Structure 1
Amino acid sequence: MSIVSRFFSYFVVFSNDYFSSCACIPDESNLRPTCWRLLLNCLPPERKGWSAFLSSHRKLYDDLVQEFVVHWETCTNEEGSNTADHPLSAEPTSPWCQYFKDNEVLLQINKDVRRLRPEMSFFQRATDYPCKIMTENGAVPLSDRVRAIILPEEHLKTNRSGANSLVEVMRKSNDEQYPILPFGQEAHWQVVERILFIYSKLNPGVKYVQGMNEIVGPIYYVFASDANVEWRKHAEADSYFCFQNLMSEIIDNFIKTLDRSTVGIERQMNQLYALLHRVDPALYDFMANVQELRPQYFAFRCSVSSLSSSLGIFNILDVICLWDTLIADPCRFSMLLYVALAMLVYERCSYLFQLTVLTVFFITD
């Protein structure tokens, strides 16, 4: 046991003073998974309450998987005589009606989680601890549900020459990049997909917004890499609740109707532009006047990207170190605008700066 780990073991109650010391956690101490659970309110401060707290929350997550994934698959596979339960039924109370609405959200989640951390192989590898509720009930991963959606629909796309091409080509390329695993196995990205889908079901007002995958990704990576096997087994459930707690603090940024409010994303992005004007007037002039870029079109992506490695500026280890500081901050994400500001200034001298802004910040799908 390292000196840091030994020191950690003496804590009975974790106070705010302890939390403030988590701003830079030594990698070799293996304290990060526990610290993040504490900081994101997925563990109570009193150590004696950990076991009961974790057991109840992990049981609750199993119930959520049963209700929103396993149960729905069972409902749609059952052969019943009820007209409302027919796939072609127009009844709003039909399970199939909700099923097709869910598929619209699931398609976007699936697309984003497949692209999660492409520079590293972790998310493409099979987890050692696939979800027991899924395997025990013979349920297939949500990605199989997406694959079943795309092929039968046989959507056609028309290119500039007028020729038609099947979306199946795109599906095939995805399958080649992420091989289909045998039944009972699942890749880490499929676990993240399930976390985000369940979150969307429990938060119908928000559902899923692009960028959430970049937030849950580092949390799951840290928990699924825990040296403590007993805790690593429950990386999915613990990641879900940490993600849910974190989203409760920043959810206003993802609600479109609040964009122009005092708590909305546009106000914060305008604050970023004001900071940029003060720190780097030349860069501000280039972006605001020459390029006529409005901050809400790129700054939120920039802020979210500072929590990830999607821009290539930070590798995953840098991102995790940054997260240590952000989530240990008593004001939580008050410094996030300054991180985004630093990213803009850092890129100003790059030959690819204009290309980065135009392609990474604007071209989304």
Structure 2
Amino acid sequence: MLRRKLNLPDSPRNVLSDRPGNSGSVPGYELGEELEMLHPHGFGWTNEGETEPVEEEREEVNVRTRVNKDGSGPNLKNFLEEDEKRSDLEYELIQEEINLEKLQRIASTGIPDGGSLRATTWKLLLGYLPPARDLWQKVLSENRLKYSKLKDEYLLSPSRLSSGEKTPSLDEHGDGPLRRRDVSDEDHPLSLGETSVWHKYFEFTEIAEQIDRDLQRTHPDLKFFSSSGQKKKTQESMRNILLLFAKLNPTTHYVQGMNEVLAPIYYVFSTDPVEENAANAEADSFGCFVRLMSDSVDHFCQQLDNNSSVGIHSTLSRLQEMLKVNDEELWQHLEFTTKVNPQFYAFRWITLLLTQEFEFNTILRIWDSFLSHPSGVQDMLLRVCCAMLIHTKSRLLTGDFVANLYLLQHYPQVDIEYLLQVARDIIPETSTIRVSLD
């Protein structure tokens, strides 16, 4: 339903790999905007002739890409590596035709903070921007307009539509005068008919309330999501995105945790120093969120939970098989000795893309690797999950059920670069026989 409504590609996970000569745009739902010149403090684009916007004070979330053996911070070598990486990315992003394979290789090692580097790169890796830079302005404009029309169609209450209003409010649910001549018996607010526009509107009230509750709990430790000045705007935009997603995907609707998956995307796009991009962060975040979710939406669909080929149980089986191929001793210990079922810990790892297991800055670094992996997000996600198990092998082998479950539900701090290197070296599962979870 979601792919049909937005004309998404049938195989979103191939969006990063099968692209030679492909514009990278998605038929029926495209976005883009033209890059300008390099700025001394970052990469961005703006309209010609405009003065450079004054950057508002923002909360910095710095990603530490290296941790020394003694636990100290990055050294001079690391800073030089970061500077070289920044230069490589900036050079790639000003090419008339972006080399996506090269962009993947650079991004997989971590995207430097600051400027528009991460926002622009994520949009390219998710297929939201096409490789051809001269199409960016057209693609972005079309998709931002399309998002605005979708909001008008699905998020405005019938009374606001009849009165001609175009701006939805976070707290209003259909108040406002209705002209009687415009209201049929079928479309009266008290109508119980299943085809009534009001019935369809009110059936999402409970979902909207759940979204609001979840947004209140989204990264309360970060000012971006919790400060009084930014909080209302952030929650309203994220609420619009999640509610619109739920209405466009009636099989899944909204499932608790989707807010956590949206948060990194919305943060990265909202903190883009280019004013025009930050102002359109809601529309851009929706487009990228849809693309990301189209590769994992089956994990949120309860009807597919017990499906042998799709759904979360199938993915958990893949993780077990991957662990067995890479470390059979650890697999045996978890599977038969302590009987720590992956549903107890990896369900959350996989459905929320590890957003609950690490600090926010580390999440951004991990997602650089997720989005840039040639085989897609889900493949790299399973590799990282498997690496997380192998990385804690010594503690898991000496632990019982309770100790191991606690460890995996409260994953310890790690050198993230080392963990990602382990993940890249993981051998993918090769057997077609799935390990039973029963």
Which TM-score bucket, shorter chain as reference?
0.7 to 0.9
User: Partner of 2:225 in structure 1?
Assistant: 123
Structure 2 letter corresponding to 1:225: T
Determine if contact 2:116/2:272 at 8 Å carries over to the other structure: yes
> CA–CA distance in 2 between the matches of 1:118 and 1:319?
16
Cα displacement (A) at 1:240: 0.4
> CA–CA distance in 2 between the matches of 1:9 and 1:284?
43
Structure 1 letter corresponding to 2:385: A
Instruction: Work out the percentage of aligned pairs sharing the same amino acid.
Output: 33
Which of these residues, 193, 197, 201, is aligned with residue 247 of structure 2? 201
User: Partner of 1:230 in structure 2?
Assistant: 276
Answer yes or no: is 1:335 the counterpart of 2:380. Answer: yes
Q: Deviations over 1:307-327 (max 9, x none)?
A: 31x23xx21111111111111
* TM-score of the pair, normalised by structure 2: 0.61
Answer yes or no: is 1:266 the counterpart of 2:313. Answer: yes
User: Partner of 1:17 in structure 2?
Assistant: 101
Q: What pairs up with 1:240-319 in 2 under 5 angstroms? A: 240-259=286-305, 260-277=307-324, 284=331, 287-289=334-336, 292-308=339-355, 310-311=356-357, 314-319=358-363
> CA–CA distance in 2 between the matches of 1:127 and 1:33?
23
Cα displacement (A) at 1:346: 4.8
Unaligned runs of 5+ in 2: 1-38, 41-85, 162-173, 412-438
Structural RMSD (CA)? 2.9
Structure 2 letter corresponding to 1:22: A
User: Partner of 1:67 in structure 2?
Assistant: 153
Residue 227 to residue 358, structure 1, CA distance change in 2 (3 Å) = closer
Cα displacement (A) at 1:211: 2.5
Residue 299 to residue 73, structure 1, CA distance change in 2 (3 Å) = farther
Cα displacement (A) at 1:92: 1.0
Residue 123 to residue 94, structure 1, CA distance change in 2 (3 Å) = same
Residue 61 to residue 239, structure 1, CA distance change in 2 (3 Å) = same
> CA–CA distance in 1 between the matches of 2:210 and 2:256?
8
Q: Deviations over 1:219-262 (max 9, x none)?
A: 11100111111211111100000111122222222223333131
Which of these residues, 349, 354, 357, is aligned with residue 405 of structure 2? 354
User: Partner of 1:40 in structure 2?
Assistant: 126
Determine if contact 1:30/1:227 at 8 Å carries over to the other structure: yes
Determine if contact 1:306/1:340 at 8 Å carries over to the other structure: no
Residue 121 to residue 343, structure 1, CA distance change in 2 (3 Å) = farther
Answer yes or no: is 1:92 the counterpart of 2:194. Answer: yes
> CA–CA distance in 2 between the matches of 1:73 and 1:315?
43
Unaligned runs of 5+ in 1: 129-177, 179-185, 361-365
Determine if contact 2:92/2:99 at 8 Å carries over to the other structure: no
After TM superposition, the structure 1 stretch with the greater mean CA deviation from structure 2, 245-254 or 291-300, is 291-300
* TM-score of the pair, normalised by structure 1: 0.72
Q: Deviations over 1:169-218 (max 9, x none)?
A: xxxxxxxxx7xxxxxxx331221111111111111122112222222111
Determine if contact 2:187/2:196 at 8 Å carries over to the other structure: yes
After TM superposition, the structure 1 stretch with the greater mean CA deviation from structure 2, 69-78 or 314-323, is 69-78
User: Partner of 1:141 in structure 2?
Assistant: none
Q: What is the SS of the residue equivalent to 2:186?
A: helix
Structure with bigger helix share is: 1
Structure 1 letter corresponding to 2:160: T
Q: What is the SS of the residue equivalent to 1:317?
A: helix
Q: Deviations over 1:20-58 (max 9, x none)?
A: 222221214531111111111111111111111111111
Q: What is the SS of the residue equivalent to 2:245?
A: helix
> CA–CA distance in 2 between the matches of 1:9 and 1:273?
39
Determine if contact 1:123/1:187 at 8 Å carries over to the other structure: no
Answer yes or no: is 1:113 the counterpart of 2:215. Answer: yes
Cα displacement (A) at 1:85: 3.6
Residue 72 to residue 279, structure 1, CA distance change in 2 (3 Å) = farther
Cα displacement (A) at 1:273: 2.2
Residue 6 to residue 104, structure 1, CA distance change in 2 (3 Å) = closer
Q: What is the SS of the residue equivalent to 2:222?
A: coil
Q: Deviations over 1:314-352 (max 9, x none)?
A: 211111111111111111121211212233455673997
Which of these residues, 14, 25, 30, is aligned with residue 116 of structure 2? 30
The number of residue pairs the alignment matches comes to 301
Cα displacement (A) at 1:276: 3.6
User: Partner of 2:136 in structure 1?
Assistant: 50
